[in-house]
């Protein structure tokens, strides 16, 4: 984001959101790029011969040993399964999906749009919650002067207003 802002000549003090910077650059976020690249690699691995090392590692399971009792660390397979949600692909259908390249390309474009839309909605909702919370704080800290009935919104205004009446 820093590089994009520099290229576009946007200063950080202009208070332009990352989403607006990405829109102006007509680019996608780094998360989308990572998901797209990850699933492209999985497609390559699925189409490989069964004797190739990446495919053996992808489909292999440990025969001996056990994992820690705490939450296990995420494997590459686990992150791929989580990212398939954006593509609206069931993990069981992944192999058939990897073989049909035009279908995969179309679903990739749809998934990028879905991811960016969800991210935008999440950002908008968070911004709205922040504004509502800020306005609620302002409304609850109102102070009415007992002498002149003037309404002070902040505690600083309240203190300075009381000094005027002393």
Domain ranges of the chain: 2-61+71-137
CB-count exposure of residue 46 (10 Å: 0-12, 13-18, 19+): middle
Model confidence at 83: pLDDT above 70: yes
pLDDT computed for residue 157 by the predictor = 55
- % of the chain beyond a pLDDT of 90: 4
CB proximity list for 119: less than 8 A, separation 6 or greater: 19, 29, 31
- Band of residue 154 on the pLDDT scale cut at 50, 70, 90: low
Q: Global pTM?
A: 0.61
pLDDT computed for residue 7 by the predictor = 92
Cα Dmax for the chain? 88
């Amino acid at each position: 984001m820093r590089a994009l802002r520099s290229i576009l000549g946007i200063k950080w003090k202009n208070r332009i959101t990352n989403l607006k910077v990405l829109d102006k650059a007509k680019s996608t976020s780094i998360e989308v790029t990572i998901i797209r690249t990850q699933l492209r690699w999985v497609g390559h691995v699925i189409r490989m011969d069964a004797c190739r090392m990446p495919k053996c590692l992808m489909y292999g399971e440990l025969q001996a040993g056990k994992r820690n009792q705490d939450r296990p660390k995420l494997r590459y397979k686990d992150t791929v399964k989580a990212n398939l949600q954006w593509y609206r692909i069931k993990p069981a259908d992944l192999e058939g999906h990897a073989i049909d390249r035009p279908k995969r390309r179309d679903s990739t474009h749809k998934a990028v749009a879905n991811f960016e839309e969800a991210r935008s909605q999440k950002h908008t909702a968070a911004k709205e919650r922040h504004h509502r919370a800020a306005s609620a704080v302002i409304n609850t800290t109102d102070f009415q002067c007992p002498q002149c009935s003037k309404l002070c919104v902040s505690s600083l205004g309240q203190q300075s207003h009381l000094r005027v009446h002393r």
